[in-house]
Amino acid sequence: STGAYKAASRLASATPPPAHVLSRGIGWQ
């Protein structure tokens, strides 16, 4: 969902984005 994507983006800005999280986010899009 868009909300989850935005939440992940916020976490990514604070910490390096884990590859598995990015993969799941892209898969949902």
Where are the domains positioned within the chain? 1-28
Q: CA-CA distance, 29 to 21, in Å (whole number)?
A: 13
* pLDDT score at 25: 59
Q: Contact 24/5 with Cβ under 8 angstroms?
A: no
Q: Contact 29/5 with Cβ under 8 angstroms?
A: yes
Q: CA-CA distance, 1 to 16, in Å (whole number)?
A: 21
Collect the ranges in the chain with pLDDT lower than 50: none
Q: Contact 25/8 with Cβ under 8 angstroms?
A: yes
Name the token pair of 20: 């598995």
Model's pTM, two decimal places?
A: 0.33
